[in-house]
Chains A and B, each alone.
Chain A
Amino acid sequence: MNIIDILPVAVLGAILGLDVVTFPQAMISRPIVAATAAGAFVGAPFAGLTIGATLELLALGMLPFGASKYPEWGSASVVGGVLYASQLNDPPGALPASLLAALLTAVVSGWSMIKLRRLNAARAARVRADLDAGDADAITGLQLFGLTADLLRGFLVTFTGMLVFKRLVPAIVSIWHSNMMYSRAIVMSLAAAIAVAAVWKIFHLVPHARILFLAGLAMGISLIIAR
């Protein structure tokens, strides 16, 4: 994958990164959607869905409350989805290495959102006199500035993430020594444990949540055995 190939991926990352906060928050940025779209982009939607579902488990507990700081999953899931879907024959290290790349990108992307919010504040301070005067152009201009800057932010994060990891992930995969089942079991134990903790934290005040969860678990395991 060369730089020209990365550009359309970065555009996808920009659009999905924009959805996280600024526009339209329709949750096309959720990992299960974004990584699948990214996988489809390189011709392997099922691989995208697989890493997307794993990332979704990790993201379950991260709720975008107001000014809280959190990893940004939209652009990061595009990076993870493309990297994983690009590995031929799904080698054992592909999922863990691509997942790590997505997580690192999500952290950097979350940091970039804080910078963007500060940039928006600085821009608002610069046009404060116009805003106080009720200038509609200043209000619309500030919105458009924020939207454009966020689009650019997502593009740069995805582009940089791809640039860094497009060689690093295949390099890790090529010298991976753990077997497939073991690698996946470790990754899923981790992702599912974090999802269970998230579900517990979110729903522990719901009446009978513990019993409901355990009943669901029994049903889920029964389904696995039955199938």
Chain B
Amino acid sequence: MSGERHLPPLTWMRMYLRLFAVQGAWNYETLLGNGIAFCMEPALRLLPGGRAGDAYTGALSRHARYFNAHPYFAGVAVGALARAELDAVPPALIDRFRTALAGPLGSVGDRLVWATWLPLCSLIALGAFGLGAGPVAVIAIFLLLYNVGHFSLRAWGLRVGFEKGLRVADALGHPIIRRGPQYLGVAAALLAGISIPLTIRRVVGDTGGVTVMVAMVALIGGVLLARYGERAEGWRLALAILSLFVLYSVIR
């Protein structure tokens, strides 16, 4: 079902730009479903009969239903499903393919983007801050670095999805996707150790004892929280302790 087939550049660009709003109507019933149909729509105009054709409305109705994926990997689904529709794959097969695609695109994206790329970029920005970089430099480092990955991933997903069509699962075995989280995790673990104390120093404004003491307290507290506070969410703890500290500092 796959092979040489190309989308007109304008159609590709429309789909790519729409991918940035794929979660626009995210809800607990259909999740990304409506967004997938929204992103595919420019390609579906190429079906026989155009916008007025039965193929167009039939395809849109199939894809506006429940679907889940990581938003950056939604392009893989959008490209592959658009290709399947343009190749006139039977609807029942498209439905089965769609169902099979949802799970992997969610877990692969969560592991690569949310659990490694985003924390790594945050830690690099915090490290730059800790080393004395100014506001413009810190923001530029974070946004440029993060979005090189982000924009490229969305473009890659759409391209590879359309190229491979129903065989797109092969693309998810790409070395960056398989091994990337592990390598990025190694870098992030090292960087966390460097960036956190540097950030403490810059905010506390002390160059010696207090910063080292705060870093040690944070290390012990963090390890205890990670080991024994499985169910404790950091922000809840922060809210409770910070509220008590503010109360103490105001009424004492």
Contacts and interface: CB of A to CB of B under 8 A. Distances in A.
Interface of A: 21-28, 30, 32-33, 36-37, 39-40, 45-46, 48-50, 53-54, 56-67, 70-71, 93, 95-97, 99-100, 103-104, 106-107, 117-118, 120-121, 123-125, 131-136, 139-140, 142-147, 150, 172, 175-178, 181, 183-209, 212-221, 223-225, 227
A25 B212 contact: no
A40 B197 CA distance: 25
Contacts of A97: 246
A142 B31 CA distance: 13
Contacts of A46: 134-135
B242 A143 contact: no
Nearest 10 interchain pairs by C-beta: A216-B193, A196-B222, A134-B57, A193-B221, A192-B218, A206-B185, A146-B25, A134-B60, A120-B27, A134-B61
Tell me what chain B mostly uses at the interface: helix, strand, loop, or mixed: helix
Contact of A63 (B57, B115, B150, B197): B115
Contacts of B68: 66
B194 A220 contact: yes
Contacts of A146: 24-27
Given A199-B189, A203-B185, A60 B221 contact: no
Contacts of A58: 234-235, 238
A21 B26 contact: yes
Interface stretch (B32-40, B76-84, B91-99, B158-166): B32-40
Interface string B142-182: 11001100100000000000000000000000000000001
Given A36-B139, A100-B243, A104-B239, A220 B193 contact: yes
Interface in B177-212: 182, 185-186, 188-208, 210-212
A33 B23 contact: no
A200 B222 contact: yes
Interface centre among A48, A132, A139, A218 (most CB of B within 10 A): A139
B215 A217 contact: yes
Given A121-B27, A147-B21, A39 B204 contact: no
Contact of A217 (B30, B35, B193, B245): B193
Contacts of B223: 196-197, 200
A215 B129 contact: no
A66 B206 CA distance: 40
A224 B199 contact: no
Contact of A121 (B29, B119, B190, B242): B29
Contact of A131 (B34, B59, B248): B34
Interface centre among B24, B186, B195, B243 (most CB of A within 10 A): B24
B241 interface: yes
B142 A32 contact: yes
B189 A124 contact: no
Nearest to A25: B71
